[in-house]
C-alpha cells in the first residue's frame, strides 16, 4: 500500500517536472522572440531598406548590409549546394556500404557539427592571407564550406526515400545509371532536395563568426567581390556592442530581419517535407 503510494508520487512529480522543463524551453523561445519583436519593430521603417549604415550618432539604414548578406549567401549556396548535392548523390546511389562511403559520411557529419569559427579561420588562412586583404569572395567561400555538409546530408537522406521500384523500372527500360539519376531520381526527390537547399540557406544566413575573418564589414555601398563587404550578422555584432543608441537600434532591427528570414525558411522547409513524406510512403 505504502509502496504503491510512493510510486504514484514519484510518477506525478517526475511528469510534472517534465512539463515544467517544456515550459522553461518554450518560455525562453517566447522571451527571445518577444524582445526581438519589441525592439526590432521600433526601428522598422522604409529607411532600413533604402539607406546605408550610418556613421556613429546619425540615422541610417541597413541597405548595404542586406545587399552584402544576399550576395554572399547566393554565391555561397551557388558554390556549395551543387557540390553537396553531387556528393550526396554519390553516397546514396554509388557508395552503398563501401568503406569509402562510410568514411565520407562520418567526416561529413563531423564537419556538419564543427564550430563555424574554425571554418572562418580556415578560409582566412587559404584565401585572405594569400590575397592580402579581406573580401566578399572569401566570405562567400566560408559560407559555401558551411553549406556543403548540410546539403550532402539532406540530399543523401532524400534520395534514399525514392522507391527502389522506380529505379528498377528505369534500369529495366535500359537507362544508364546516370540517366536514371538525372531523369528519375532527381525529379522524384525534387522537393526533398529543395528542402535541403532551404535549410542550407537558413543555416548560412545567420552565420557571423566565419564572416568576421573573411568578409569583415564595410560601411559603404560596395559591389566589389574583391573588397570587404557589409553583411547583416557582422553589422549586428559591431553595432550591438557600440555605445550609440542609433546603432543599437539598427542592430535590433537587423536581428529581427535575420530571425524572421530564417524562421520563415525553416517553417517553409518543414511544410515541404511534410507534404513530401505521405507521397513517398505510398
In order of 6, 16, 20, 23, 155, the CA distances from 12 in angstroms are 10, 6, 12, 16, 43
**Could you give the dihedral angle defined by the CA atoms of residues 219, 224, 227 and 230, in that order, rounded to the nearest 10 degrees?**
30
Distance CA 176, CA 47 (A): 56
The site map against other proteins for 162-201 (x = CB under 8 A) is: ---------------xx--xx-------------------
Secondary structure (DSSP) of 156-172: HHHHHTS-HHHHHHHHH
Q: Is 41 in the site for other proteins (CB under 8 A)?
A: no
* Binding residue for other proteins, selected from 192, 213, 231, 253, defined by CB under 8 A: 213
Nearer to other proteins, 64 or 89 (CB): 89
Does 78 engage in binding with other proteins (CB under 8 A)? Answer: no
Distance of CA 279 to the CA centre of its chain: 26
Q: What angle do CA 112, 117, 235 make, to 5 degrees?
A: 115
Closer to other proteins at the Cβ: 32 or 173? Answer: 32
Residues 120-159 that bind other proteins (CB under 8 A): 121-122, 124-126, 129, 145, 148-149, 152
Q: Which is nearer to other proteins, 71 or 211 (CB)?
A: 211
In the complex with other proteins, the residue whose CB is nearer, 131 or 267, is 267
Residues whose CB is less than 8 angstroms from the CB of residue 159 and which lie 6 or more positions away in sequence, other chains included: 88, 89, 92, 93, 185, 189, 192
DSSP state, residue 62? -
Q: Report the site for other proteins in 6-25 (rule: CB under 8 A).
A: 7-8, 10-11, 14-15, 17-22, 24-25
By beta-carbon proximity to other proteins, the closer residue of 68 and 84 is 84
User: CB-based contacts of 210: which residues, under 8 Å, 6+ apart?
Assistant: 116, 117, 119, 120, 123, 139, 142, 143, 146
Of 51, 208, 222, 249, which lies in the binding site for other proteins, with binding defined by CB under 8 A? 208
Among 207, 218, 229, 250, binds other proteins (CB under 8 A): 207
Restricting to residues 50-69, which ones interact with other proteins according to CB under 8 A? none
**241 counts as binding other proteins under rule CB under 8 A:** yes
The answer to whether 114 contacts other proteins (rule: CB under 8 A) is yes
Q: Is 72 in the site for other proteins (CB under 8 A)?
A: no
Total residues in contact with other proteins, by rule CB under 8 A: 89
Give whichever of 124 and 244 is closer to other proteins, judged by the CB atom. 124
Burial level of 103, CB count in 10 A (0-12/13-18/19+)? exposed
Is 76 within 8 Å of 147 (Cβ atoms)? yes
Cα separation, 23 vs 172, whole angstroms: 55
Residue placing its CB nearer to other proteins in the complex, 64 or 214 = 214
Amino acid at each position: 500500500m505504502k509502496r504503491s503510494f510512493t510510486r504514484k508520487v514519484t510518477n506525478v512529480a517526475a511528469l510534472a517536472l517534465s512539463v515544467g522543463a517544456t515550459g522553461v524551453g518554450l518560455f525562453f523561445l517566447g522571451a527571445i522572440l518577444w524582445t526581438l519583436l519589441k525592439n526590432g519593430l521600433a526601428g522598422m521603417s522604409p529607411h532600413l531598406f533604402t539607406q546605408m549604415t550610418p556613421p556613429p550618432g546619425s540615422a541610417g539604414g541597413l541597405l548595404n548590409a542586406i545587399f552584402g548578406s544576399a550576395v554572399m549567401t547566393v554565391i555561397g549556396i551557388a558554390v556549395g549546394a551543387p557540390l553537396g548535392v553531387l556528393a550526396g548523390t554519390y553516397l546514396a546511389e554509388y557508395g552503398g556500404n563501401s568503406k569509402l562511403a562510410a568514411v565520407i559520411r562520418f567526416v561529413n557529419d563531423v564537419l556538419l557539427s564543427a564550430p563555424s569559427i574554425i571554418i572562418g579561420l580556415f578560409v582566412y588562412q587559404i584565401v585572405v592571407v594569400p590575397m592580402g586583404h579581406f573580401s566578399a569572395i572569401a566570405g562567400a567561400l566560408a559560407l559555401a564550406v558551411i553549406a556543403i555538409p548540410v546539403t550532402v546530408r539532406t540530399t543523401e537522406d532524400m534520395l534514399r526515400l525514392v522507391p527502389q521500384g522506380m529505379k528498377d523500372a528505369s534500369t529495366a527500360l535500359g537507362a544508364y545509371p546516370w540517366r536514371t539519376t538525372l531523369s528519375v531520381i532527381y525529379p522524384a526527390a525534387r522537393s526533398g532536395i529543395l528542402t535541403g537547399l532551404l535549410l542550407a540557406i537558413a543555416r548560412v544566413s545567420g552565420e557571423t563568426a566565419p564572416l568576421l575573418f573573411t568578409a569583415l564589414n564595410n560601411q559603404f555601398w560596395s559591389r566589389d567581390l574583391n573588397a570587404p563587404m557589409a553583411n547583416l550578422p557582422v553589422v549586428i555584432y559591431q553595432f550591438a556592442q557600440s555605445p550609440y543608441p542609433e546603432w543599437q537600434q539598427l542592430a535590433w532591427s537587423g536581428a529581427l530581419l535575420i530571425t524572421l528570414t530564417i524562421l520563415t525558411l525553416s517553417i517553409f522547409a518543414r511544410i515541404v517535407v511534410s507534404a513530401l513524406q505521405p507521397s513517398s510512403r505510398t
